[in-house]
Amino acid sequence: RRNPVTDKKALLREIFGFTHFRPGQEAIIDALLARRDTLAVMPTGAGKSLCFQIPALLFDGLSLVISPLISLMKDQVSALRQAGVEAAYLNSALTPSQMETVVDRARKGTYKILYVAPERLLTSGFLSLVRSCPPPFVAVDEAHCVSQWGQDFRPGYLDIAPFIEGLSGRPVLGAFTATATPQVRDDVTALLCLRNPLVTTTGFDRPNLTFEVRSPANKEAELKGFLAERRGKSGIVYCLTRKTVEEVCESLRAAGHEAVRYHGGLDQEERRENQERFQKDEATVMVATNAFGMGIDKSNVAFVVHYNMPKNIESYYQEAGRAGRDGSRAECVLFYGGRDVVTNQFLIEKGEEASGDDEASRLFRETERRRLRQMTLYCRSRDCLRARILRYFGEESPDRCDNCSNCLQTFREVDVTVEAQKI
């Protein structure tokens, strides 16, 4: 039998091939191994998977991972198998006979980790499996799917709590998500029936990014000036509407920039081609709506300019975070204008997501308005921008980063005061 304290490091090395844990990972693994329910909030790419895979390997018996997407399960199971771990999944991609094979093997103790779609949990076949092999540990990946506040609500996630309650022994529960709003966090704790969970929020800081808010009188001129000082560097300019994308892209091309455009109104062929030209550095500037981003992984993006204020801090940070993936210094600049607030208000009231008159739509709009207010406060605040972002996500932060426009501004003001006093 393995020794959990010494072996998590060995597993990290042998199975995953890494020498060090990233911030937060070890604390989460330790809590779970000490049988403490845990809610781990870490941004996408921070490394949540191994925080449940390592405990699953160290607990006796078959641990479960509840996951919403067939593609996620496939990727993780094949990566584990390649590393020599016995893992499998149960979801609607399997035929009934394949499903039976997996259940049989699970019953015989072939696997350490079984991935399962939430909709399988309360089926009779699965219930009979867990009766003969009660799981010591259940991990819920993408746990925000249980909350109706988020955009990824998945009714099947509501089956998780009754499933856990029906088990003969209470397993340790771990919930994992990148969504950090307090409402979603409360929902996850309540709806998954976590018991006095350890809540950890880590890994949101991106020290190589600098943050800046500008309130230019003329955004077009401001952007041209900004780009003129950064010729040849790769960057993204996000706009709120398709129309703005068209206008900005046009004006940049007229000024001699290799700019391409991207939004949902273009045909697929043009979108693919523009993305490729940007990816290959043939086009240096990508002008886009938020339709651009899912699944792109360009490492040398030197700046992300928001030509308009986005609708909330989650969107802002995700989009700005596409800068500096290679770890080198990169700039995130937001052009704030009062009209952006009005446009976002309009999109909330008229948006297709929840325009109805029912209670759910009203609540949704109320939440969106609240998030918009936080975004607006970010733009108008004089406090450290990085601290604002990190605290919004629930992560502790020093009061100053000395690396955002507000910290650098007070720096200058202090300087000037000293000069003035000398005079």
HSE, side-chain direction, 13 A CA sphere, residue 100:
3
Contact letters (x/-) for ligand ADP, 24-43, by CB under 6 A?
Answer: -x----------------x-
Residue 73 in contact with ligand ADP, rule: CB under 6 A = no
Name which of Mg ion, ligand ADP, none residue 328 binds, using a CB cut-off of 5 to 8 Å depending on partner kind: none
Single residue of 47, 156, 337, 351 touching ligand ADP by CB under 6 A: 47
Q: Is the Cβ of residue 50 or residue 237 nearer to ligand ADP in the bound state? A: 50
Residue 381 in contact with ligand ADP, rule: CB under 6 A = no
Residue 18 in contact with ligand ADP, rule: CB under 6 A = yes
Using CB under 5 A as the binding rule, the residues of this chain from 41 to 100 that contact Mg ion are 48
How far is Cα 118 from Cα 100, in angstroms, rounded to an integer?
18
Least gap, CB of 33 to ligand ADP (angstroms): 17
Q: Is the Cβ of residue 48 or residue 371 nearer to Mg ion in the bound state? A: 48
Residue 44 in contact with ligand ADP, rule: CB under 6 A = yes
Least gap, CB of 18 to Mg ion (angstroms): 16
CA 39, chain centre distance (Å):
15
Residue bearing tokens 């039976």: 100
Q: What amino acid occupies position 384?
A: C
Residue 202 in contact with ligand ADP, rule: CB under 6 A = no
How far is Cα 116 from Cα 123, in angstroms, rounded to an integer?
12
168: nearest Cα among 129, 117, 226: 129
Residue 49 in contact with ligand ADP, rule: CB under 6 A = yes
Name which of Mg ion, ligand ADP, none residue 15 binds, using a CB cut-off of 5 to 8 Å depending on partner kind: none
Which tokens go with 224? 């041209």
Rg of the chain, C-alpha, whole Å:
24
309: nearest Cα among 261, 245, 239, 216: 239
Query: 36 near 114, Cβ under 8 Å?
Result: no
Name which of Mg ion, ligand ADP, none residue 236 binds, using a CB cut-off of 5 to 8 Å depending on partner kind: none
- Binding piece for ligand ADP, criterion CB under 6 A, among 14-22, 59-67, 131-139, 374-382: 14-22
- Length of the chain equals 423
62: nearest Cα among 122, 125, 109, 3: 109
Residue 116 in contact with ligand ADP, rule: CB under 6 A = no
Residue 113 in contact with ligand ADP, rule: CB under 6 A = no
Least gap, CB of 163 to Mg ion (angstroms): 21
Pairing type for strands 87-90 and 38-41 reads: unpaired
Residue 21 in contact with ligand ADP, rule: CB under 6 A = yes
Name which of ligand ADP, Mg ion, none residue 18 binds, using a CB cut-off of 5 to 8 Å depending on partner kind: ligand ADP
Residue 59 in contact with ligand ADP, rule: CB under 6 A = no
The sheet with strand 209-214 has its strands ordered as: 209-214, 330-335, 303-306, 235-238, 285-288, 259-262
Residue 50 in contact with ligand ADP, rule: CB under 6 A = yes
How far is Cα 194 from Cα 160, in angstroms, rounded to an integer?
11
How far is Cα 32 from Cα 318, in angstroms, rounded to an integer?
28
Give the interface with Mg ion as residue ranges (CB under 5 A).
Answer: 48
Binding site for ligand ADP (CB under 6 A): 18, 20-22, 25, 42, 44-50
